[in-house]
Structure 1
Amino acid sequence: MKSEREYAVYKGESLLAMGTSEECAVELKVTKEYIEWLTTPTAKRRLASRKNPENCTVGFRLDEDDE
């Protein structure tokens, strides 16, 4: 079983980074906690309330269906 979760981080339709939270964090020069936070319901609600949500940085967990 794979222990590290995989993430994809986008800004608009552009893929910024893909990999573990640590790999994405290094690529984007942020913390791995920020990458993980991007996938939370709170982050998604904040994104929806922004003026231009299509220009925001969003994160997706790629293994959400694996349970």
Structure 2
Amino acid sequence: MNKEYALYKGDELLGFGTLQELSSQFGVKIKSLLFYQTPAYRKRTSEKKGKRLIKC
């Protein structure tokens, strides 16, 4: 069973699905999606402009 994730930009839900589904939907690499979860990415971006990947 694949894990599902939700991708947010601020309070707006951009997408929901597996990493593979989100990758093809938004045209980004899976590695980039996983980077959205890291503390380094959170420090570089603001809450409103940065994307956040949440594991469901």
TM-score range normalised by the length of the shorter chain: 0.7 to 0.9
Deviating more after overlay: 23-32 vs 33-42: 33-42
Q: Which runs of 5+ in 1 are unaligned?
A: 63-67
**Corresponding position of 1:27:** 25
Q: TM-score, normalised by structure 1?
A: 0.67
Which gives a bigger RCO, structure 1 or 2 (Cα 8 Å, sep 6+)? 2
SS in 2 for 1:34: helix
**Corresponding position of 1:58:** 52
- Distance in 1, Cα, partners of 2:39 & 2:7: 15
Q: CA deviation at 1:43?
A: 1.9
Percent identity between the two aligned chains: 27
| Number of positions where the alignment pairs a residue of Structure 1 with one of Structure 2 | 56
Deviations 1:5-48 (A, max 9, x none): 2111111211111111111111111111111111122222323x
Tell me which structure has the larger Cα radius of gyration: 1
Q: TM-score, normalised by structure 2?
A: 0.76
